Amino acid sequence: MELWDLYYQNRKKLHELHIRGEPIPNGKYYLVVHVWIQNERGELLLSKRHPDKPYGDY
């Protein structure tokens, strides 16, 4: 089970935990981070999700 911290729209922490896969209540949010890894030649590190691993389906 994966737990997420919940936040108000202004990124203030609610001090509530949310179970991944459950519907998120209106007016509550969680943070998402995207990371780009680039070397000195401008190449990007890409990662591909395994085709047998579900994404968004619980």
Q: Could you tell me the pTM of the whole model?
A: 0.62
Contacts of 18 (CB under 8 A, 6+ apart): 3, 4, 5, 6, 24, 28, 30
Residue 47, phi then psi, degrees to nearest 5: -125, 135
Secondary structure letter of residue 27 according to DSSP: T
Whole-number pLDDT of residue 58: 46
Q: Residue 11 above 90 pLDDT?
A: yes
